[in-house]
Amino acid sequence: MTSQNQPSRNSGSIEHYDAVIIGAGVSGMYALHHLREMGLSVRVYDGASDVGGTWWYNRYPGARVDGPGSPFYCYTFTDKLMEEWDWAETQSAQPAVLAYLEHVADEFDLRRDIQFETWVQDARYDEAAQRWTVTTRTGVRASAQYLICAVGALSTANLPDIPGIKDFSGETYHTGQWPHEPVSFKGKRVAVIGTGSSGIQAIPEIAKEAEHVTVLQRTAQYAFPAGNRPITPDDMAKARKEFGATREKMIAHPGGFPVDSHERMAMDYTPEERRARYEELWERGSFMFFLNGFNDIATSEEANASLADFVRDKIRGIVRDKATAEMLMPDHFVMTKRPILDNGYFETYNRDNVTLVDLREEPIERFTETSVVTASGEYPIDMLVLATGFDAISGSMLRLNPKGRDGMSLKDRWQDRFHNYLGMTITGFPNLFMIHGPGSPGVFYNMPLGAERQLDWIGKCMDHLREHGMGTVEATTESEEAWGNEVTGIASFTLFPRTDSWWTGANIPGKPRGFSAYLGGSLYYQRIADVADKDYEGFVFEQARHADDDRDRIA
């Protein structure tokens, strides 16, 4: 392996590295740091002009962390960051998260190995060389033994194909591709499509400024009070002091959060006791509703109904107009679409300048230059905000569409199912590792911590190859098959697969439907550690065929 301080060799038009990383978001940044610390030469490519990934792109009004919150939406690999960074709110706003990530990049001098504004348009495996070659849109070519795809679980925008949408002449923005220049809603009639987390965060903010907001809702949603709170200097001092113990708690928790586990089941309590607990959690707000409520909400229809009824009553209590409140009633199992936290979303419908349109009653027929036309009417608008989500989990890998052995494309490999082993590797794609890919806990786990843990495993696997003189590691089809069955088997014990959501791929027309996240929580990390302990059970290795110095000739 080349040392991190040694410049990469450039033979004509191709650069050589030990590892190429695609993506400079939370995962790609840690990947770079970790692999560099191991002594590898590393190059990162990212289409954005700076670090941050999802936090660089999602700048829409109201965007903020909604998980259990800062100071825990952060890296844990060093105490240093915790010691020197002050968080101001429990659910940091997007600019604060981005500032933190920029600080991390400064602190670890990450940018010197990242090439920004560089879109990787091709990645293909060269069997003779046992290496990956990536080509960027600007014509840069690089070869590497390892390809780390830190391409983001929620980064390929879902742009709806609605007749006439391209003819609309007003401003159009997708929340996940929000402009860097300020967007003014003042005096404008704004239509918003989408009431997932992004729409529900953005709508109250847009409504404060716009002349009128028309919300085009396809699926009514449950949303819970965000309960965002300031973090005082005393809170920060305490968090710093306890960070070691907090980290241990995060590792022990099924979702990677610093919360005590519990065994409470909703159906063990009387309806009155359940309601009292829900009230208490509603008052407090935050993701604690799910982490500290009852454990059977996602598995028992009855338990689920008890919470769904509670939230529907809350919506009726908040929204004054009865007809609007009824349109806002969700009818799917609560929590089986990604839970949403809101900052005054339902209250927004009490404003005079907000109209809700139920697309199940009046579907969108088309856009004109100046309006959106539904089955029952025409709504003149000046601006369209698409909060329509993402081709999630597998979408960014498919957009990259790497070509593995025999030139096989990932699109072909994944035509009917997102075949993978341990959520990180794919048969036919040796030495390619995905972070937060299908088959991993991904979005069901504290994502910065999940990325650290996956990358630590990947680093050890790379060490194993080096120590044994191996050139490649690759999953077997049998291990992929068994892993796929394990993932769907765990999901089948829950209500999750029974609702259409981006978790099941149902939001993207034509996408194979299947629940692709590993729902076993922290058990996943035990599983991948066991595989490593058993000499990487389920993988095959090839001897290294070339010494480092042969690469120039081969490429």
Which residues bind to ligand N01, rule: CB under 6 A? Answer: 64-66, 154, 158, 160, 175, 193-199, 201, 218-219, 338, 359, 387-390, 443, 502, 507
The CB-of-66 to ligand N01 minimum distance in angstroms stands at 3
Q: What are phi and psi of 132, to 5 degrees?
A: -95, 145
With b meaning 16 or more CB within 10 Å and e meaning fewer, what string describes 291-329?
Answer: bbbbbbbbebeebbebbbebbbebbeebbeeeebbebbe
The set of residues, in sequence order, having a beta carbon less than 8 Å from that of 322 and lying 6+ positions away, is none
DSSP track, 185-227: -BT-EEEEE--SHHHHHHHHHHHHHBSEEEEEESS----EE--
- Give dist(CA 432, CA 372) in Å, integer: 44
The CB-of-345 to ligand N01 minimum distance in angstroms stands at 12
The CB-of-444 to ligand N01 minimum distance in angstroms stands at 10
Q: 64 or 212, CB closer to ligand N01?
A: 64
The CB-of-150 to ligand N01 minimum distance in angstroms stands at 17
Q: How far is CA 64 from the centre of its chain?
A: 14
Element (H, E) at 433: strand 432-434
- The closest of 18, 32, 190 to 111, measured between CA atoms, is 32
Burial (CB count <10 Å: 0-12, 13-18, 19+), residue 373 = middle
- Give dist(CA 274, CA 413) in Å, integer: 47
Q: 51 or 142, CB closer to ligand N01?
A: 51
The CB-of-398 to ligand N01 minimum distance in angstroms stands at 17
The CB-of-192 to ligand N01 minimum distance in angstroms stands at 9
Other CB atoms within a 10 A radius of the CB of residue 477 amount to: 11
- Give dist(CA 288, CA 321) in Å, integer: 30
* Cα distances (Å, whole numbers) of residue 381 to 68, 141, 179, 200, 371: 37, 45, 20, 20, 5
Q: 367 or 414, CB closer to ligand N01?
A: 367
The CB-of-217 to ligand N01 minimum distance in angstroms stands at 7
Q: 443 or 540, CB closer to ligand N01?
A: 443
The encoded tokens of residue 223 equal: 């949303």
The CB-of-176 to ligand N01 minimum distance in angstroms stands at 6
- Give dist(CA 104, CA 268) in Å, integer: 46
Q: 40 or 231, CB closer to ligand N01?
A: 231
Q: What are phi and psi of 476, to 5 degrees?
A: -85, 160
Strands 42-45 and 371-374: unpaired
Q: What are phi and psi of 21, to 5 degrees?
A: -115, 130
CB-based contacts of 363-366 (< 8 A; 24+ apart in sequence): 364/162, 364/193, 364/216, 365/163, 366/162, 366/163, 366/164
76 neighbors 27 (Cβ within 8 angstroms): no
The CB-of-244 to ligand N01 minimum distance in angstroms stands at 26
The CB-of-295 to ligand N01 minimum distance in angstroms stands at 21
- Give dist(CA 325, CA 321) in Å, integer: 6
Q: 41 or 195, CB closer to ligand N01?
A: 195
Q: 82 or 97, CB closer to ligand N01?
A: 97
The CB-of-114 to ligand N01 minimum distance in angstroms stands at 23
The encoded tokens of residue 530 equal: 């066991």
257 neighbors 266 (Cβ within 8 angstroms): no
Q: 259 or 555, CB closer to ligand N01?
A: 259
DSSP track, 280-315: HHHHH-STHHHHSS-TTTTT-HHHHHHHHHHHHHHH
Q: Tell me the H-state helices in 389-428.
A: 395-400, 410-413
The CB-of-378 to ligand N01 minimum distance in angstroms stands at 17
The CB-of-388 to ligand N01 minimum distance in angstroms stands at 4
Q: 68 or 520, CB closer to ligand N01?
A: 68
Q: 197 or 522, CB closer to ligand N01?
A: 197
Which residue is closest to ligand N01 by CB?
Answer: 196
Q: 35 or 104, CB closer to ligand N01?
A: 104
The CB-of-97 to ligand N01 minimum distance in angstroms stands at 9
Q: 209 or 500, CB closer to ligand N01?
A: 500
Q: 63 or 462, CB closer to ligand N01?
A: 63
Q: 345 or 421, CB closer to ligand N01?
A: 345
CA atoms within 13 A on the CB side of 150: 33
The encoded tokens of residue 408 equal: 């096989």
- The closest of 53, 50, 31, 43 to 7, measured between CA atoms, is 43
